[in-house]
Amino acid sequence: MGPGPSDIHPRVLNAIGKGTVGHLDPYYLQTMNNLQEMLRKVFKTENELTMAISATGSAGMETTVVNVIEPGDKMLVCINGVFGMRMADVAERAGAEVLTLERPWGEVFTAEDLQPILDAEKPKVVGIVMAETSTGACQPLEEISKLVHANGGLLLVDAVTSLGGMNVEVDKWGIDVIYSGSQKCLSCPPGLAPISFSPAAVEVLNNRKTKVRSWYLDLSMLSSYWSEDRVYHHTAPINMTYALYEALRVILEEGLDNCFDRHLQNHLALKAGLESLGFQYNADPNHQLPMLNAVKIPAGVDDGTIRGGLLKRFGIEIGGGLGAFKGKVWRIGIMGHAARQNNVLTFLGALEQLLAENNYEFSSGSSIAAANAAYATNA
């Protein structure tokens, strides 16, 4: 129940243990085709250039940036947490002239925030994090996307934590470049990074004047392997592809809307339980993520003692704060296969026991009662 990797669905664990075939075997090539089709459904896009990069979500970030940025290009990065900061670092290493716009951690950006710098600088690319894993904040994208396109730019989105746990509308929202990771709400082991490029982004890629600064992540070559040409580029992670394939099947069988609702209902119950104990959420109340619950650690509660007790005595992992939030925030994940009622109630019961042992005052059983009431109300 940390910020990722999440619990792995048993079907996914079974799939990853299947027999390995060659990366150009007809069976594997058909698996790639089917994987692409399922990724398009989860991303809600018709983009032809949709695939899984053979690396983790951070490599998905680097892939998207280095393929649309050439040395000297302006890229505006919106920073309201750790992963916005990381995106800016990646853009600088790619040779971009990096412009940054910042908001306090836990807050989100509006189109009005971006308007002045877009008017003045006309950046080629605007990068923004949809689900900021360090703060629990959920970033609205539609109005910002319209503004970016009105100023002639491409919108690049980090959906590492959001994909599979909440609605992501690549085509409807006009997202040009998007990346995610296999290990969050997709409930797959870390190791693959789903990405998708719009036709406008593909045009930028095809008209580059310089080589992509990463050979391994160069989509002009990778796309030839994922297309009908099947031009060899690298030895793909066969069994990880099996795992992601099965993870996507699990989500689509449940139904995207049902999956999103499951994450939301468990979030609302967990939130009710935590608030009954005096915990406050870090993110703006109107923009809180369902799958990543970032809560402020109350006075009198020792971070290491409680998190250590949860792990050692109850086998429950939650995440600590990152960067400026280290020691101040817990990041509690209810992602993918972990987004289940029994997990929420077990966590709250274990937390109550540890808090009581450490002389934190609260009404015993209040969090369980509040969570159950939320389940009943929101059913």
What single string gives the DSSP state of each residue in 20-89? Answer: P--TT-HHHHHHHHHHHHHHHHHHT---SEEEEESS-HHHHHHHHHHHH--TT-EEEEEESSHHHHHHHH
> What are the pLDDT digits (tens) for 28-63?
999 999 999 999 999 999 999 999 999 999 999 999
Please give the pLDDT value at position 379: 75
> What are the pLDDT digits (tens) for 105-119?
999 999 999 999 999
Average pLDDT of span 135-162: 98
**CB of 311 within 8 A of CB of 164?**
no
Q: 338, 341, 35, 342: which is closest to 183 by C-alpha? A: 338
Please give the pLDDT value at position 58: 96
Percent of residues, the chain, with pLDDT higher than 90:
95
**CB of 165 within 8 A of CB of 113?**
no
> What are the pLDDT digits (tens) for 209-262?
999 999 999 999 999 999 988 999 999 999 999 999 999 999 999 999 999 999
The band of 363, judged by pLDDT with boundaries at 50, 70 and 90, is confident
Does position 370 have pLDDT exceeding 80, yes or no? yes
Average pLDDT of span 319-344: 95
Which structure tokens are listed for 196?
């998708």
Q: Which amino acid is at 27?
A: Y
Domains of the chain are 10-253 (3.40.640.10), 255-378 (3.90.1150.10)
Place of tokens 């289940």: 340
Does position 323 have pLDDT exceeding 90, yes or no? no
Average pLDDT of span 255-274: 98
Q: Which residue has the higher pLDDT, 21 or 364?
A: 21
**CB of 294 within 8 A of CB of 369?**
no
> What are the pLDDT digits (tens) for 175-208?
999 999 999 999 999 999 999 999 999 999 999 9
The band of 294, judged by pLDDT with boundaries at 50, 70 and 90, is very high
Q: 142, 153, 158, 140: which is closest to 194 by C-alpha? A: 158
Please give the pLDDT value at position 324: 84
Place of tokens 């994922």: 226
The band of 364, judged by pLDDT with boundaries at 50, 70 and 90, is confident
